[in-house]
Chains A and B, each alone.
Chain A
Amino acid sequence: MKRNSWKKIVATASALALIMGCLTGCGGEEPKESSVQPSEQTSSQETSESTGSDSSAPSEEEPASAGITFPLAEQVELTIATPDGNVASLADNLPVWEEIQKRTNIKINWDVTASKQYVDVMKLRVGAGGGKLPDIMFLPNGLSLAELGGQGTILPLEEYIANSENIQKAYEQFPNVKALTSADGHIYSVNTLNESAYFAPYSFIIRKDWLDRLNLEVPETIDDWMTVLRAFRDQDANGNGDAGDEVPFSAGGHAWYTTYWANAWGLHLFQSDGWYPDENGQMQYEFISDEAKEFYTWLNAFYEEKLLDEEFLTLGDENKLYEKVSRDEVGAFTAYPSRIATLEAALEANGVEGAELIPVVPPKGPYAQMTEVVGDMTVNGYVVTSSCEHPDVAVALMDYMMSEEGKELMNFGIEGDTYVKENDGTYSFTEKVTANPDGLSASEVLSSYGCQLGLCYLKSDKREQAMLYSYPEELQQKIIDVTDATRPYMVAGMTLPPATEEESESISGLSGDLATYIWEMTGKFTVGTADIEAEWDSYVEYVKTLGVEKILAVKQAQYDRLTSQQ
């Protein structure tokens, strides 16, 4: 008991960090554009000129990285600034990077900063100007590509990228990369791409053993869900003799989590923040649509019926939710299916026998059956600075990271040491990873080898599958099956190209006030302190006075730039 309550306290201690993360999430999923940028758009022409005088200019006659083959005949040194690994430091010559350097004959000088401080430190270094910047750096959040590019601090990479075979091949799989092109037509960064975003995406998770105990089927529609959750509420689903201690559906401390249900109303509130084009390509703010009104009406009933945890706004963070789940109190929630193993283990540790959690295919609702998927591309990527003497080699190295070889190294480590490649093309980890003698988790072991650290790469969905090794086979199969069953309903979240300076200037300060109001009203509509019927019109009106039309105009322009690229 005592230990448990300490755990609780420790878990709450992380509340600040998570609330911050949460607020950022609500602020907008789009790549954050700092509102401060150089005054004139024309600076893009100056860029090519100013870099033209540099020895590092993209030479027009020779296609960029086409001529480069690894290993290089003559060794080249590159300095890379990047957030450091949390398990082992890149500066200590980690095996994967040793191997990459050997195979490419590039000597890498690491300029690493602890991942938590990276953004602040790097922003200061770039801000201070002067001095030599690293050749390649991970763009810290808050600096704008367009501004740095306009000043010539970072180099346009599109010509090199156009000639990079592996990057091009990877880009074909990811339509979102179109959003990497800035309004000035340049591409300044290469970002990490994630195939596994579509493997086991964020979904509803339900207690299968509770369903079995009450002889219920896995819910397929919103109405099914209501029936199942009512049964959880009333029929002592956890079988402890007290019918009052079950929370049918819980969420982790922010109104945002409840908008996952809005998928079934065809609304893109959860991942795209409500900014989504209609079928005519017109950007809409879905939080004020008629469907949203219906959704909120449902959500209010959902809360009033006590199907939604009455603590859903005060839990603090996801960890508090997971604790509640592991105390055998919660019937369903939303999470990444990769959580299941940990949660089942926690349930078992708390003496719950036969606890079984399963991901559920998105339910069919009044207007849609879908789930928004994001995260197939990181918001920020790696840029090449004007200090770099060999930008062609730098991009060639990034290209190498996206190759089959680079992919294997970054996802699985060293063949024979950390993984074995089976004949059928699947990968499995060695015991060094799966049952580490030092007690490290699989991803910690791989991180200590340098996997998924240091530079952009292609995150393989085969890695996610290989990571399922620790799951009971049945659960592995279930997750794979549910992913396959979910695939037809996956809808890509909206990733827009960066806003221009004028654009972000015109809406500066608006989105924060809007987000505050939206989440406040979402909470109030849900709990019922604001009456939906009576207050909807004034709500819509107020959203408009907060400048939603101005923001829509900017989003529309960004969206048009995206669709105008072929």
Chain B
Amino acid sequence: MKGNVRKTEKQPLGKRMAAGGKRFLKNVKRDKALLLIILPVVVHYLVFVYYPMYGNIIAFKKYSPVKGIMGSDWVGFRYFIQFFNSPYFTRVLKNTLLISVFSILWGFPIPILFALMTNDLKHGAYKRIVQAVSYIPYFISTVIICGMLVNFLSPSSGIINSVIKAFGGEPINFLMEPKWFRTVFIASGIWQGFGWSAIVYLAALTGVSQELYEAARVDGASKIQQVIHVSIPCILPTIIVTFIMQIGTLMSVGYEKIILLYNPVTLDVADVISSYTYRTGLVEGNYSFGSAVGLFNSAINLVLVIFANKLSRKVSEVSLW
């Protein structure tokens, strides 16, 4: 092997490339089935992920639909500065982070708990039904979820307030009270997503060897102890990877649900970066501004993921890369 390398080093560049090319062709020929299988994925990424990225340059340009992306004039960081100087910058940043952090705080453990609980269901049909019921809400569109929320939370005819009234309480106008906004937003988000998010943990749990449980039982471990000392350590890598991915979405709270649920009175706590960008960028046709904010978000998210990944590698030796 070593001699081989030296030999190629001595050869002129053209020949070396020819040799490399030959080897490359040989490899292609050998692995053509595998390459064919991966081809659609590569094409997908090139066409739908990498190619559109070049559009990001309009964040540094004064984009004019007439002049097109390449033809528009460069303006440097103007739109970033406009965003940082906006009177709403601190408010939307704060709201975005608060909603994200609380979403993770409450929303992250629930699918894990749910997965651990359903995993121990022994009755097959019952388990499947519980699972199906739990992830059905994930398939309902956001618009409809929000319509249901408005109906259920209505102070005059909503189910929730009917219950409150039945117990002699005063009806609460949930969607008009700033202090309720985050609760409604996050709780409905958890309800919609926990069953779906639990799937990945359930898959990880099925991979846990039954021998480990048997050994634990022989040692006299209770059900709870089995969960704590067998199940959780076994799915810990999955949990950490999912967590790192979640950290990477810290700056992105989707605008759809926000704009469907907020109103002027709750704007103080409800307006987030994406809804603000939606109003100034899309509704007013200021595409460059919208891209600038999007790029800023992505940059922060990337930094957060890298940081979380490093930290996790140091602490737990589990990491994304």
Contacts and interface: CB of A to CB of B under 8 A. Distances in A.
Given A23-B283, A310-B173, A151 B264 contact: no
Given A314-B263, A522-B264, A12 B62 contact: no
Contacts of B156: 245, 247, 310-311
B203 interface: no
B260 A153 contact: no
Nearest to A123: B65
Interface in A1-47: 5, 8-9, 11-13, 15-16, 19-20, 23-24, 27, 32, 34-37, 39
B180 to A, nearest CB: 12
B283 A142 contact: no
B144 interface: yes
Interface stretch (B14-22, B98-106, B236-244, B284-292): B284-292
A12 B146 contact: yes
B151 A520 contact: no
B155 A311 contact: yes
Interface stretch (A155-163, A231-239, A266-274, A507-515): A507-515
B264 A509 contact: no
B283 to A, nearest CB: 5
B280 interface: yes
A315 B175 CA distance: 10
Contacts of B285: 32, 34-35, 141-142
B199 to A, nearest CB: 26
Interface stretch (B2-10, B80-88, B307-315): B80-88
Nearest to B61: A36
B265 interface: yes
A437 interface: no
Given A15-B260, A512-B280, A523 B68 contact: no
A146 to B, nearest CB: 11
Nearest to A524: B265
Contacts of B147: 8-9, 11-13, 15, 316
The binding surface of chain A is classed by DSSP as: helix
Nearest to B142: A16
B279 A520 contact: no
A515 B63 CA distance: 23
Interface stretch (A105-113, A125-133, A344-352, A447-455): A125-133
A464 to B, nearest CB: 31
Contacts of A36: 62-67, 72
Nearest to B173: A310
A37 B63 CA distance: 10
Interface in A73-131: 123-124, 126-129
Interface in B244-302: 256, 259-260, 263-265, 267-268, 271, 276, 279-280, 283-286, 289
A147 interface: yes
Interface in B47-67: 62-67
Contact of B283 (A24, A247, A316): A24
B164 interface: no
Contact of B148 (A9, A320, A546): A9
Chain B interface size range: 35 or more
Contacts of A314: 150, 154, 173, 175-176, 263
A343 interface: no
A127 B64 CA distance: 8
Nearest to B278: A23
A46 to B, nearest CB: 15
Contacts of A521: 264
A398 interface: no
A519 B264 contact: yes
A255 interface: yes
A143 B259 contact: no
Contacts of B62: 36
Contacts of A253: 263
Contact of B65 (A24, A126, A517): A126
B216 to A, nearest CB: 48
A519 B259 CA distance: 14
A197 interface: no
B143 interface: yes
B275 to A, nearest CB: 10
Interface in A300-314: 310-311, 313-314
Contacts of B87: 513, 517, 545-546
A517 B279 CA distance: 12
A206 B103 CA distance: 45
Contacts of B259: 16, 19, 23
Among B86, B256, B264, residue most surrounded by chain A Cβ atoms (within 10 Å): B264
A123 B66 CA distance: 8
A341 interface: no
A142 B283 CA distance: 10
B286 A35 contact: yes
Contacts of B289: 509
A516 interface: yes
Nearest to B279: A512
A314 B67 CA distance: 41
A222 interface: no
Nearest to A519: B264
15 contacts: A12-B150, A12-B151, A16-B256, A16-B260, A20-B283, A36-B63, A36-B67, A127-B65, A142-B65, A310-B173, A512-B284, A516-B276, A522-B264, A523-B264, A523-B267
Given A12-B146, A313-B175, A316-B150, 11 more contacts: A12-B148, A16-B259, A36-B65, A36-B66, A39-B73, A143-B65, A314-B176, A508-B286, A509-B289, A516-B279, A524-B265
Q: Which 6 A-B pairs have the closest CB atoms?
A: A12-B147, A523-B264, A36-B64, A313-B263, A127-B65, A512-B280
